[in-house]
Amino acid sequence: MAFFNEVSKIRYEGKESRNPLAFKYYNPEEVINGKTMKEYLRFSVAFWHTLTGSGSDPFGSGTMQRPWDGKAGIELAKERALAMFEFCEKLDIPFFCFHDRDVAPEGETLAETNQILDEIIAVIAERKKSSDVKILWGTANLFSNPRFVHGAATSCNADVYAYAAAQVKKAMEATAALGGENYVFWGGREGYETLLNTDMQLESDNFARFLQMAVDYAKEIGFKGQLLIEPKPKEPTKHQYDFDVATVMGFLRKYGLESYFKMNIEANHATLAGHSFQHELHLARINGVLGSVDANQGDALLGWDTDQFPTNLYDTTLAMYEIIKNGGLHSGGLNFDAKPRRGSFEPIDLFYSHIAGMDAFAKGLKVAAKLLETGDLENFINERYGSFRYGIGKDIVEGKTDFKSLEQYALKNDRIINASGRQEMLEAILNRCILEV
């Protein structure tokens, strides 16, 4: 059964092509730095946006026209699961990601909900046998149902906490059963609105206990995938606990959980936290916790998670720069946590938007590889910090100084000479690379 009949397999036609249903830069088998583009980029489709997203917003109902319109319940869930495979295959996208509640509807009770989920997971597992499409990560939706009004693992209600644990247990089992390569924790409503009613200390401690139980359970069921935490500073709660990479690292270190988790970094969450996408990737990379990426972009004029498809070449280039320096994404990938705008409501817009994002990252990969090959930025930085390779700088780096010895040095050397940071010259080098590649 085909869902997207008007589209056949999308092919690479090169940058001269004017065909909107062709790749201009994404050439899956092209080798960059010893790896194919497909291996480097590890693209993934987000089930929640692409298959279940309706286009509704706070002011109006859904606008999306989809091949499965008119279906409901389990039948709808099955159609969407099958459509996901066709969609990925047509775009040559090797992975998809899902929440438990995207792929299957909830039943009346938790037991019934679990049973429905099992039924759909079996459909996915069966279809997977005849496909190369794999699961990048699974996760649990601990935010949509009204029971999570005060959070899940940070709820004030112990019954909700237990329910959330049961749900994550099941979602981990489902992810493991499908061979998922990672499991993600996005702290949906893990945060608070006001300290007038919140015991932040208890909520943090409980959150850490929850994550420890998840670590233990993953081990118990032999789940080998990487556990990931996805930072986000706000929305839906005013103060989300997993604010950004630095905050999450501090939290994990406080509770001795740092060796079990890496980060799933979302571009639009970085900008909501007042950081650039590259900042978050870079910080994670130098701390060995760059795990995976939710590839989207926000709008600088809007203060919320607009989840747009990534088309900004500066951002994709600098992201790929970090990813190449990270030695690739390892078990992670570039998951399009992005949705076409509400006005782009036809099924074919799903193809246009993924092609736009894939080409933007493929171009970013090529430019970043070129930038690294020329060494222009690396050499500049290397030289900029040259003073730490000899004399007093070398002593500082080797831990051989103290305040007294540094004072002695400074007293004899107060004619300090600084060099220009050359920001604009470097920005022009970046521009030249984008235009040339």
- Tell me, by CB under 6 A, how many residues bind ligand XLS: 10
Pick the piece of the chain touching Ni ion (CB under 5 A) from 279-287, 305-313, 358-366, 397-405: 305-313
Contact residue for ligand XLS among 230, 244, 280, 322 (CB under 6 A): 230
Touching ligand XLS, residues 78-137 (CB under 6 A): 99
Name the minimum Å distance from CB 308 to ligand XLS: 13
CB of 304 within 8 A of CB of 235? yes
What element of type H or E holds 336? strand 334-336
Which tokens belong to 281?
């990737």
State yes or no: residue 242 binds Ni ion (CB under 5 A).
no
Touching ligand XLS, residues 254-313 (CB under 6 A): 266, 294, 305
102 annotated active-site: yes
What is the CB neighbour count within 10 angstroms for residue 294?
Answer: 26
CB of 322 within 8 A of CB of 285? yes
Q: Any idea what DSSP says for residue 274?
A: T
Integer Cα distance of 68 and 433 in angstroms = 44
State yes or no: residue 280 binds Ni ion (CB under 5 A).
no
In the complex with ligand XLS, the residue whose CB is nearer, 100 or 203, is 100
Q: Which residue has the tokens 């597992």?
A: 125
State yes or no: residue 139 binds ligand XLS (CB under 6 A).
yes
- Residue of 49, 92, 100, 102 marked catalytic: 102
205 annotated active-site: no
In the complex with Ni ion, the residue whose CB is nearer, 90 or 232, is 232
- Residue sitting closest to ligand XLS (CB): 186
Q: Which residue has the tokens 């008119």?
A: 70
In the complex with ligand XLS, the residue whose CB is nearer, 324 or 350, is 350
In the complex with ligand XLS, the residue whose CB is nearer, 83 or 184, is 184
State yes or no: residue 337 binds ligand XLS (CB under 6 A).
yes
**Of how many residues is the chain composed?**
437
DSSP SS3 for 265: strand
Name the minimum Å distance from CB 128 to ligand XLS: 21
* Binding-site partner at residue 139 among Ni ion, ligand XLS, none, CB < 5 to 8 Å by type: ligand XLS
Note the Cα 143 to chain centre separation in Å.
18
In the complex with ligand XLS, the residue whose CB is nearer, 187 or 364, is 187
- Going by their DSSP bridges, the two strands 290-294 and 334-336 should be labelled as parallel
Angle at 281 between CA 370 and CA 168, to 5 degrees: 135
DSSP SS3 for 207: helix
Which tokens belong to 207?
């959150």
* Binding-site partner at residue 92 among ligand XLS, Ni ion, none, CB < 5 to 8 Å by type: none
Integer Cα distance of 352 and 109 in angstroms = 39
Could you list the residues that contact Ni ion (CB under 5 A)?
266, 294, 305, 337
Binding site for ligand XLS (CB under 6 A): 99, 139, 184, 186, 230, 232, 266, 294, 305, 337
Q: Which residues are catalytic?
A: 99, 102
